[in-house]
Amino acid sequence: MVRESVEQERHKEVLLAKFRNKTAVIGVVGLGYVGLPLAVEKAKAGFHVIGFDVQAAKIDMVNQGMNYIGDIVDDDLREMVAAGRLRATADYAFIAEVDAVAICVPTPLDTYQQPDTSYVENSAAEAARYLHPGMLVVLESTTYPGTTEELVKPALEQSGLVCGEDFFLAYSPERVDPGNRLFNTKNTPKVVGGMTPACSEVAEALYRTVLEGSVHVVSSPSVAEMEKIYENTFRHINIALANEMALLCSRMGINVWEVIEAAKTKPYGFMAFYPGPGLGGHCIPIDPFYLTWKARKYNFHTRLIELAGEINQTMPEFVVQRIAEILNERRKPLHGSTVHVLGVAYKKDIDDYRESPALDIIGLLEARGANVRASDTHIPSFKRDGAIYECVRVTEERLAEADIIVITTDHSGFDYGMLADSEAPLFDTRNAFQDKKKPQHYYLL
């Protein structure tokens, strides 16, 4: 054990020195919404970065300096590639050249609402093939508590190297908020939990070298994994409360948005969350179910989380029912009516439509016989259940042809003046007209 501790200390000091003098080669597995911004920031910090992905299109775009992630400044990516500090590849053999690697791959749910950790497991298995002494591996993908220790560590140790002695392993959850102009990868505080104190130390050193935000070290990867789940579960539950209030206020004839604005005047004990057509994105609709799945292994039922999920998942159905009711007031059936849906992205002013409630709303409308047109200022086309939909440009003629207009995403790029002048009824699920001239026939969620 003395020999191993001495060897571990040597590995640690060598790695820390490489981080300080920027001679370390950094790998990032997964060049999506989390991985590519992280790779760019590491390159900007002065490191040589190798990005790994299985999608040839992403690899080609990165190597050509072409950006496909909204939160990255185009010039930053282009400059890092041109300077030779960032390149992408599908060949995992280059992991043998890196001193540290971050795994930023998807962690979706399967058809049974259970965690699909196959991307994490495959990435860990590939890393194990080229793992070498003194290397740092950090998992960033959002997942259930225990993943790093139960899945990643054993996979990496298939290499014959021992975690904490021959290589370092930590978990540091991503905190990407697409479209947030205030906080980004660079300045958002980081949480780090290592398998051993030395693992935490080297992971903390890397992030302090790269990022401007603070680094908060916790006692284990499980704490860091739970912290991330807790963040998103907090939002999940509070959004469910806002949605349930919206459903009740709708029956009572009360404007829920006005209620929330009034509640916001309290300077303590209240944080505003808003209702909407449903939840979207990779995190909030998915992450809490990672915890409910894990909790069952401990004979524990997360009733509040599951109830919040039921409320949030019913919102697209409520939206479609309200559309039918609004049309019925005008003596029109939903079947055969033209519904113009504005906004496919799950959030304002981004091009990400993963888990977007607009997709469910479109599917429910089509199932009831409606003719659906979709528009989005950030998404030219999208895929739903294998079918490709083309977004149409919003024009006065198309609005005049619609039997009802539905705002599912309140993009800044929509012409709200044109919408206000339209004679078709407009159903606003995002309170987009809060400070604007409202249409003549206006309905608010």
Positions annotated as catalytic residues are 283
Amino acid at 382: F
Return the half-sphere exposure (C-beta side, CA atoms, 13 A cut-off) of residue 416.
16
Compute CA distances 143 → 102, 195, 278, whole Å.
14, 16, 22
3-class secondary structure per residue, the chain: CHHHHHHHHHHHHHHHHHHHCCCCEEEEECCCCCHHHHHHHHHHCCCEEEEECCCHHHHHHHHCCCCCCCCCCHHHHHHHHHCCCEEEECCHHHHHHCCEEEECCCCCECCCCCECCHHHHHHHHHHHHCCCCCCEEEECCCCCCCHHHHHHHHHHHCCCCCECCCEEEEECCCCCCCCCCCCCCCCCCEEEEECCHHHHHHHHHHHHHHCCCCEEEECCHHHHHHHHHHHHHHHHHHHHHHHHHHHHHHHHCCCHHHHHHHHCCCCCCCCCCCCCCCCCCCCCCCHHHHHHHHHHCCCCCCHHHHHHHHHHHHHHHHHHHHHHHHHHHCCCCCCCCEEEEECCCCCCCCCCCCCCHHHHHHHHHHHCCCEEEEECCCCCEEEECCEEEECCCCCHHHHHHCCEEEECCCCCCCCHHHHHHCCCCEEECCCCCCCCCCCCCEEEC
Write the Ramachandran bin of 62: left for phi over 0, alpha for psi from -120 to 50, otherwise beta: alpha
Write the Ramachandran bin of 328: left for phi over 0, alpha for psi from -120 to 50, otherwise beta: alpha
| 29 strand-pairing partners | 52, 103
Cβ-contact 145, 155 below 8 angstroms:
no
Q: For residue 56, give both structure tokens.
A: 């040839």
